[in-house]
Amino acid sequence: MTDAKHITENIDAILEVAKRIKAGKGRYSRTLEQEQQARDAVKSLQREAHAATTAMVNDEDTSQHRDLADIQRDLLKAHNKVDKAIDKSHDDVSAMDNACETLLALMNEPAEKTDENDGASARFKESAAAA
pLDDT of 6 reads 76
**Position 85 pLDDT exceeds 90:** yes
How many Cα neighbours within 13 Å face the side chain of 78? 17
- Residue 108 pLDDT: 80
Mean pLDDT over 111-131 rounds to 48
* Mean pLDDT, residues 50-61 taken together: 91
Q: In terms of pTM, does the model score above 0.85?
A: no
Does 127 have pLDDT greater than 80?
A: no
pLDDT band at 110 (very low <50, low <70, confident <90, very high): low
> Is the model more confident about 5 or about 84?
84
